[in-house]
Structure 1
Amino acid sequence: MTEKLRGLIAGARFVLFDFDGPICKLFAGHTAEQVAKNQVRWLEERGLRGLLTEEEQREPDPHVVLRMVDRRHPDSDLVFELEKRLTLQELRAVESAYPTAHVDVLIQTWYALGARLAVATNNSPLAATRYLATRGLSECFAPHIYGRTQDLSLLKPHPHCLNRALSALGAEPSETLMIGDTATDFQAAKSAGVRFMGYARNEAKEKVLRKAGAEVVVGSFEPLLKMLRDRRR
């Protein structure tokens, strides 16, 4: 695994980070599950709970709830309002978001080594931009922060936000590494033709990534940071 990890970063001139997970735990203060419940409650208050199946109503991921509503009413005012409410929740969550261990220094070290960095996320780019500013990391990424748009069909696993980053950076896919923590991150990276490194906070997330096909999955960025520091020296 060490050699595979070393091989991944050796030719990575461009690095794309997913946001919620690899960079921070966005919903550390109020859980994503609670946000999803609030979405369902908001639909119920408007007599629209029936848009979701009973299983979907228990979905802990607000992005899944949003996507399900969009599938039934694409490009509608309803979807626009629900997405706007999610963006506001993500912006609020920034205040209590918790940084992923070692990632701030990892980002700064990679940037100092000359790598070009971007964020490619299903979260609102406004939330990612605000969070990076609070950590003093804006310079490492700006202006390359690519997130959710009004067209929800372009959320990962669609490679849209990755392709936007590649185009803006002038990056060759073969020289690009994507770091993500979900199966959809891996699928988007595969579609975009870029290499992939999985980040898993726990064993359950690692199993999901492995099942999706990810070969390199780390539970901590510390070994990666050590490799980059050795290279810098």
Structure 2
Amino acid sequence: MAASGIETDPERLLDLIRPARVVLWDFDGPICRLFAVRKAEQVAGELVEWLEARGLHGLMSGPERESLDPHVVLRAVDRRQPGSDLAAELEERLTQEELRAAATAWPTAYADPLIRTWTAVGSRLAIASNNSPRVIREYLTGRGLLSCFSPHVYGRTGNLRQLKPDPHCLNRALNAMGAAPASALMIGDTPSDFRAARLAGVPFLGFARGDRHAKLLREAGAGVVVQSLEPLLELLRAGAGPRFSGPGT
């Protein structure tokens, strides 16, 4: 393993890939950079401003207001006013921002061919994300990838308490696909992805865009972290997928 905490041992990656009959993907990060042009920090700030303009400054703590994460803002409001019209309206505002962002999202390097290759070698794929399923489907359709996942796209619901790290979307995917947790693999890029996978009993592969994100995943407990999807693609093309794992596996 490299000093940065990035996995360099192909055997460690193979140990995750070979048993994976089902691969659960987080969306924003491993598949694309959703807020590549209009940044998530800007969206979070505008959500906070929208709340404050309505005299709702007190719904969030200082750290929540300063988090620069739209999902932190959403959780904060739902925590204080669960199931409220306010929370629903805020969620729809975020969905509209995500829809706009999907048009300019940057594909993660190697994600498209990896998704197609993993499908071709016999694994089934699903999305387990905190983003809106409307947004996810729109992006995947534009990339010609929806058929690799459909109908198994599990995103944010009206019950905001079920956002990751709650394992709800992972459990929905596993139940719908009739898959045991040990036969699956979760690819995620945040500590909340790791915690959700751990609660669901699903093996986890961390994807980090840089050393800082790798450090956060490591500190959360992720055992295997990569900064590129290319090694996974190379292993699958070399025969690491389930179709080639041999009898009884």
Task: Give distance in 1, aligned partners of 2:183 and 2:12.
Answer: 15
Give the CA deviation at 1:58.
Answer: 1.5
Taking the TM superposition and a 5 Å limit, the aligned residue runs for 1:1-233 are 1-231=9-239
> What is the TM-score of this pair, normalised by structure 2?
0.92
**Could you tell me how far apart the structure 1 residues matched to 2:54 and 2:165 are?**
30
Query: Cα distance, 1:49 vs. partner?
Result: 1.7
Amino acid at match of 2:117: T
String of CA shifts for 1:46-105, please: whole Å, max 9, x gaps: 111222223322221000001011111111111010001000100110000000000000
Runs of 4+ aligned structure 1 residues displaced above 6 Å come to none
Task: Name the counterpart of 2:247.
Answer: none
Instruction: Give CA-to-partner distance per residue, 1:184-223, whole Å, 9 cap, x none.
Output: 1011111111110000000010001001111110000111
SS at match of 2:119: helix
Unpaired segments ≥5 residues, structure 1: none
Whole-Å separation in 1 of the counterparts to 2:182 and 2:131: 25
Letter in 2 for 1:75: G
User: Separation in 1 of the partners of 2:196 and 2:96?
Assistant: 26
Distance in 1 (CA, whole Å) between partners of 2:142 and 2:233 is 21
Paired with 1:111 and 1:142, the residues of 2 have a C-alpha distance of: 12
Q: How many residues align?
A: 233
* Residue type of the alignment partner of 1:118: A
Q: Which runs of 5+ in 2 are unaligned?
A: 1-8, 245-249
Q: Which has the higher contact order (CA 8 A, sep 6+)?
A: 2
Whole-Å Cα distance in 2 between the matches of residues 167 and 4 of structure 1?
27
SS at match of 2:125: strand
Kindly, what percent of the aligned residue pairs are identical?
Answer: 60
Which residue identity lines up with residue 175 of structure 2 in the other structure? S
